Amino acid sequence: MPLTRKAYRAAILHSIADPAVVGIEASYEYFEDGLLVTENGQISAIGHASELLASLPADIQITHYQDALITPGFIDTHIHLPQTGMVGAYGEQLLDWLNTYTFPCESQFADKAHAEEVAGIFIKELLRNGTTTALVFGSVHPQSVDSFFEAAEKLDLRMIAGKVMMDRNAPDYLTDTAESSYVESKALIERWHGKSRLHYAVTPRFAPTSTPEQLTLAGQLLSEYPDLYMQTHISENLQEVEWVKELFPERKGYLDVYDHYKLLGKRSVFAHGVHLCDDECARLAETGSAIAFCPTSNFFLGSGLFNLPMAEKHNLNVGLGTDVGGGTSFSLLQTLNEAYKVMQLQGARLSPFKSLYLATLGGARALRLEDKIGTLHPGTDADFLVLDYNATPLLSYRLKQANTIAETLFVLMTLGDDRTVLQTYAAGNLVHQR
Ligand code: GUN
Ligand code: ZN
């Protein structure tokens, strides 16, 4: 097979460790005039252009960008495919929002043609926003996941998804049964898990919409297959937390419900966690579970402020989630803009390097994929972005006043959005051009 070696020259930045653990300076690598070399879908070298160029063959194809920054692709650790058509639904908090808007919108995915149409729109939107890996909720219908994986596989994307399991406290037109959810999830696992760059996530929606029997079977699936993911919601809204106490009076609290059914673990990602207590954070950390921090959604649905410092204190893995359609943007740059404000409202700071970590390596660690994505280290997948310093007149003017990469990065995260993403590469292929 011919080598497909290519090189990209620009400023290059990637996160290599958690700033909360190693300090800011040791958390990143920055090459002001850098070179990234890819070969057969992977990164083969990264460094200063002046040093690397000499080692490359004279005829190698080099793409040179001015006023641009190469970063790893962004990782969205929580998003809902079937909510693409209901972003920005007015007026309700979580439980009424689900009944009023979400369930009717998700019901349309009974139709495979609709599922295929939305999967196409959804994947395009991910890529235009620079998201190269996402942990995705489908609807209760298996065809929502088939449609998504079919589209992702064509582009050789690294994606994780699962069919919602939901057998109570939802309209009849949108519920499965414990048994059917097990059988349908299993068929999807057999069809997709480990195929190309795709992975399956067992997906009980949240404790209130699953019977104990269904939660038991979700735990059983996790025990039957290696390296499966588990995704659900936890402690997002105070009414929801009270409801879980009523539904599971025998459990110590919300997390203990999931713990009891063996749903915690190294590939388990819990969305929101706004109202978790100290002990619950400790238990999540102890089991290697992760939290998806979803700031635009937590603001939009009036859910509350996620306590990132508490998670850091427990050394808990945290990734960033857009939570579209509770969240209001596919852009992880815009999500970081809101994350900064969440910290401000709690008297804390979110450094741009911590933000970069959350959107890339932190997300990869939450998904246990840090050997494959999240950095630009040689040997990892060539999933990367070219961010354009001149994306808008204001960005262009503002960045001319920036003197350091820290300032540039912070401004990109404050003013940036899909317009900032000039190109997105996945497995070395150009999958989005603005
Ligand atoms: N909790 C249960 N289902 C959902 C959902 O679809 N979105 C959000 N934000 N929270 C949920
Ligand atoms: Zn969600």
Closest approach atom of ligand 1 to CA 137: 6
Based on DSSP, count helices (H) and strands (E) in the chain, helices before strands.
18, 16
In this structure, what token pair is assigned to residue 160? 């994780």
List CB contacts of 340: < 8 A, sequence separation 6 or more.
Answer: 350, 355, 413, 414
What is the Cα–Cα distance from 366 to 268, expressed in whole angstroms? 8
pLDDT of 344 higher than 80: yes
Pocket of ligand 1 (CB under 6 A): 80, 94, 98, 102, 205-206, 233, 236, 297, 323, 326
Which atom of ligand 1 is nearest the CA belonging to 83? 6
Q: Assess contact for 138 and 185: CB atoms under 8 A.
A: no
Domains of the chain, CATH where assigned: 5-73+375-433 (2.30.40.10), 74-330 (3.20.20.140)
The reported pLDDT for the residue numbered 4 is 85
Report how far residue 298's alpha carbon sits from residue 338's, in angstroms, rounded to the nearest whole number. Answer: 10
If one residue of 100, 105, 233, 237 were mutated to test the ligand 1 pocket, choosing by the most ligand atoms within 8 A of its CB, it would be 233
Distance of CA 289 to the CA centre of its chain: 15
Residue nearest to atom 9 of ligand 1 (CA): 326
User: Following CA atoms 86, 92, 97, 99 in sequence, which dihedral angle do they give, to the nearest 10 degrees?
Assistant: -120
d(Cα 157, Cα 160) in Å, to the nearest integer? 10
In the predicted structure, residue 34 carries a pLDDT above the cut 60: yes
Q: Could you tell me the two tokens for 72?
A: 């790893």
Query: Cα separation of 240 and 234, whole Å?
Result: 9
- Testing ligand 1's pocket by substitution, the residue of 87, 94, 272, 296 carrying the most ligand atoms inside 8 A of its CB is 94
Instruction: Ligand 1, residue 236: give the atom nearest the CA.
Output: 10
Of ligand 1's listed atoms, the one at least distance from the Cα of 208 is 2
In the reported structure, the alpha carbon of residue 80 is separated from the centroid of ligand 1 by a whole-number distance in angstroms of 9
The pLDDT of residue 1 is 47
pTM above 0.95, yes or no: yes
pLDDT tens profile 105-163: 999 999 999 999 999 999 999 999 999 999 999 999 999 999 999 999 999 999 999 99
pLDDT value of position 226: 86
Cα separation, 35 vs 382, in Å, equals 13
Are the beta carbons of 373 and 334 closer than 8 angstroms?
no
Q: Give residue-wise pLDDT tens across range 198-221.
A: 999 999 999 999 999 999 999 999
CA distances from 301 to 121, 380, 432 (A): 24, 37, 31
* pLDDT, tens digit, 9 for 90 and up, residues 60-114: 999 999 999 999 999 999 999 999 999 999 999 999 999 999 999 999 999 999 9
Cβ contact 231:214 at 8 Å: no
pLDDT range class, residue 3, cuts 50, 70, 90: low
Q: Whose CA is nearest to atom 7 of ligand 1?
A: 326
CA of 135 to the centre of ligand 1 (A): 14
Q: Residue with the nearest Cα to atom 8 of ligand 1? A: 326
- 2, pLDDT greater than 70: no
Mean pLDDT in residue range 259-269: 98
pLDDT in tens, 387-423: 999 999 999 999 999 999 999 999 999 999 999 999 9
Looking at residue 157, what is its pLDDT?
A: 98
Ligand 1 atom at minimal distance to the Cα of residue 327: 9
* Side chain identity at residue 167, one-letter code: D
**Which-ligand-closest: CA of 298?**
1
SS3 string of 178-227?
HHHHHHHHHHHHHHHCCCCCEEEEEEECCHHHCCHHHHHHHHHHHHHCCC
